[in-house]
Structure 1
Amino acid sequence: MTASVPPLISCQYLKDNLDKTVVLDGSSHMPNSGRDARKEFRENGHLPGARFFDVDTIKDPTNPLPHMMPSAEQFASQVGELGISNNDHVVVYDTVGFFAAPRVYWMFKAFGHKNVSVLNGGFKAWTAAGLPIEKGEREIEPKEYKVHPLNKDMIRDYQQMLTIVNNQQSPVTVIDARPSPRFTGRAPEPRVGLSSGHMPRSKNVPFVELFDMETGMLHTPEQLAAAYKRAGVDIDALKKHESRESNVVLSCGSGLTACVLYFSLEQLGLKNLAVYDGSWTEYASHPESPIIKDP
């Protein structure tokens, strides 16, 4: 498949095109949840023919941070083991709706994969529509996945973030997807020993405000724009000043839900967006990082 595909697809679209797609379950859970996403994939069921994309293993194994991007060679090798080739239409979902699936979407895009979509509503919407599921894991025939270099415009590292936050005149807007109590510093981080709070001048759009937690469905563009507006983010102004050098950087706890922001802003027409890969777990672990806590 070489034609462009919609980034957001419905259950009906996937049902009609199931034999033309590679479906990935990208589910993941918070480190203190006690849940095992792969075990749930096998025992609770998944979409027919789905393979499990493990964000906790398809990452940089040399980095102690939880979800850092793997090398292009590692990504290509592990994706090939999932039976995926470069021209496949990859469809990603998770069991929440919009939690880890957008991270998988962003990873594929960052490594140059053209045809990748997120299933609107994920597993919740699929089962609510009465569509079939299966249990267990099928054997997968590996394919060759050609290495494509990482698009470095889509990612930011710690030193780049430090430059942004220490420059009072920086034109970059940093948006944080963590829950408001962690952003303000009134609640602790789930990772022991990590300070809560936020980066100077960053905005807070909790990722749960961007979709319906009950149905898993992404909010309408009007609802998405309103959520950003409430946080002081003017979408029209960002579009007006958009340049190839991203003026919007997205962060969260460990790089997962920042990609929910990425996906929603893409739906609103923004193009040059970057994700801070190490996110708050990396930022707050450095003693030189300026941290703001609301009174």
Structure 2
Amino acid sequence: MTAPIVSTTWLHTHLEEPNLVILDASLKDNQSSLKTDLENIQIKGSRFFDIKNTFSETNNPLPNTLPSPEKFEEEARKLGINKNSIIVVYDTLGVYSSPRAWWLFKTMGHQNVHILDGGLPAWIEEGYKTEKNQREDIYPIGDFEANFNPNLVKNKEQLLKNIQTKEAILIDARAENRFKGIGDEPRPGLRSGHIPGSINIPYTQLLRDGKFLPKEELLKILKPNNKPLVFTCGSGVTACIDLIAFELISDAPKSIYDGSWTEWGQLENFPIEK
């Protein structure tokens, strides 16, 4: 189990590492209605990893879905990412969308990728260098190669089967009211509730001040065992936060239901619980 997160101190001391690539994976908007005043600032020398428009399958009606390995490889190379790159990814909210970028790289076979714990707010708090966003920069084309790992992704048919087999534990990272089906979904046209048999662990319970809780606190909340884990949320973003939390304390197999509730909630023939 490679360490999925690094501290601001670690990143600051490794800035001169020749293979280091720092990626800003911030989202302009989010379904959690979180706001930031740092959207025009980046860590000095970082590159923008556009989850919404570049590193998603934009032709898919579902948001934030996994792009093809060919598309991911092409776009990663445009960012100057190589096979031997040491990738550190962050976002402007502390920890929110950066775990999604981490998971995307893992799914495409790149192991040397890490999340900056606390993200840009923690970096600024330490007084480290920032600059105005350089979103239009052109980089030397990298030699990144995508080697897709299908074990890290689950689809609706697999989740439907799992309701009966209970082979994997399904963990829903959404807020409790959405999980229980109390009130409307933020995306129109979706039913309310959750996938039968799933467990609700809101991602907000696993963070404090934009950083992951210490391992001893995560162990008390998550109580891991060795069963495979599948994570879901609204559109596959915050599910990755829960996945990283488990990654910090457990070697159990982990995957993301990429369609998440945006898909399941519109499937009239698929069961739900409230």
TM-score range, shorter chain: over 0.9
Identify, as 1 or 2, the structure richer in strand: 2
Q: Tell me the residue number matched to 1:231.
A: none
Separation in 1 of the partners of 2:38 and 2:12?
A: 22
TM-score by length of 1: 0.86
- Equivalent residues, number: 269
Aligned partner (choices 157, 162, 165) of residue 164 of structure 1 = 162
Aligned pair 1:150/2:164, yes or no? no
Deviations, residues 246-287 of structure 1 (Å, cap 9, x unaligned): x21100000001111111111002241011001110111110
Q: CA RMSD for the aligned pairs?
A: 2.0
User: Is 1:77–1:145's contact at 8 Å kept on the other side of the alignment?
Assistant: no
| Structure 1 residue 54: Cα displacement | 1.0
Q: Aligned with 2:131: secondary structure?
A: coil
Aligned partner (choices 48, 52, 55) of residue 48 of structure 2 = 52
Going from structure 1 to structure 2, the CA distance change for 1:9 and 1:34 (only over 3 Å counts) comes to closer
| Structure 1 residue 202: Cα displacement | 0.5
Unmatched tracts of structure 1, length 5 or more:
229-233
Aligned pair 1:188/2:184, yes or no? yes
Separation in 2 of the partners of 1:30 and 1:187?
A: 19
Q: Tell me the residue number matched to 2:91.
A: 94
Aligned pair 1:248/2:260, yes or no? no
Q: Tell me the residue number matched to 2:217.
A: 223
Identify, as 1 or 2, the structure richer in helix: 1
| Structure 1 residue 182: Cα displacement | 0.3
Q: Aligned with 1:27: secondary structure?
A: coil
Q: Tell me the residue number matched to 1:177.
A: 173
Q: Tell me the residue number matched to 2:23.
A: 24
User: Is 1:80–1:144's contact at 8 Å kept on the other side of the alignment?
Assistant: yes
User: Is 2:173–2:201's contact at 8 Å kept on the other side of the alignment?
Assistant: yes
Letter in 2 for 1:290: P
Q: Aligned with 2:162: secondary structure?
A: helix
Q: Tell me the residue number matched to 2:110.
A: 113
Q: Tell me the residue number matched to 1:277.
A: 258
Per mean C-alpha deviation after superposition, the further-off stretch among 175-184 and 146-155 is: 146-155
Letter in 1 for 2:267: H
Letter in 1 for 2:60: N
| Structure 1 residue 224: Cα displacement | 1.2
Unmatched tracts of structure 2, length 5 or more:
none
User: Is 1:110–1:154's contact at 8 Å kept on the other side of the alignment?
Assistant: yes
Q: Tell me the residue number matched to 1:10.
A: 7
Letter in 2 for 1:292: E
Q: Percent identity?
A: 36
Going from structure 1 to structure 2, the CA distance change for 1:207 and 1:10 (only over 3 Å counts) comes to same
User: Is 1:48–1:134's contact at 8 Å kept on the other side of the alignment?
Assistant: yes
TM-score by length of 2: 0.92
Separation in 2 of the partners of 1:82 and 1:224?
A: 34
Q: Aligned with 1:19: secondary structure?
A: coil
| Structure 1 residue 33: Cα displacement | 4.5
Separation in 2 of the partners of 1:253 and 1:17?
A: 35
Deviations, residues 135-186 of structure 1 (Å, cap 9, x unaligned): 0316231323343231011100111111112x1x422210000000000011
Aligned partner (choices 189, 206, 215) of residue 210 of structure 1 = 206
Separation in 2 of the partners of 1:55 and 1:101?
A: 9
Per mean C-alpha deviation after superposition, the further-off stretch among 142-151 and 154-163 is: 142-151
Separation in 2 of the partners of 1:209 and 1:194?
A: 25
| Structure 1 residue 34: Cα displacement | 9.8
Letter in 2 for 1:155: V
Q: Tell me the residue number matched to 1:201.
A: 197
